[in-house]
Homo-oligomer: A and B are copies of this chain.
Amino acid sequence: MDSAPPVPPSSPPSSPWLPFESRRRARDEKREAVLRAAVQLFLEQGYHRVTLSEVAERLNITKPALYNYFRGKDEILFECWSMGAELVDSVITEINAGGGSGLAKLRKLVHAYAGLMATDFGASLVRFDLRDLAERNAAVARAAKKRIDATFRRYIAGGIDDGSIRPCDPKLAAFAIAGALNWIGHWYQRDGGLSPTEIADEFTVRLTEGMATEGRQQTTKKTPRVPKGRNSGRKTTGKKRTGGGTR
Query: Interface of A with B (CB < 8 Å)?
Result: 45-46, 48-49, 129, 131-132, 153, 157, 160-161, 166-173, 175-184, 186-187, 194, 199, 202-203, 206-207, 209-211, 216, 218-220, 222, 224, 235-239, 241-243, 246
Contact = CB atoms under 8 A, between A and B. Distances in A.
Nearest to A150: B242
Contact of A222 (B167, B202, B211, B239): B167
A224 B171 CA distance: 11
A236 B169 contact: yes
Contact of A176 (B45, B46, B175, B207): B207
Contact of A49 (B131, B209, B241): B131
A17 B25 CA distance: 78
A239 B153 CA distance: 11
Contacts of A161: 239
A210 B219 contact: no
5 contacts: A160-B238, A168-B206, A171-B246, A179-B181, A210-B210
Given A179-B183, A239-B157, A206 B170 contact: no
Contacts of A181: 179
B45 A239 contact: no
A223 to B, nearest CB: 10
Nearest to A188: B175
Interface centre among A129, A157, A238 (most CB of B within 10 A): A129
A158 to B, nearest CB: 10
A131 B209 CA distance: 36
Contact of A219 (B166, B183, B238, B242): B166
A78 to B, nearest CB: 16
Contacts of A202: 169, 172
Contacts of A129: 46
A218 B246 CA distance: 35
A220 to B, nearest CB: 6
A171 B245 CA distance: 12
Contacts of A210: 206, 209-211
Contacts of A235: 167-169
A181 B199 CA distance: 18
A131 B42 CA distance: 12
A187 to B, nearest CB: 6
A172 B203 contact: yes
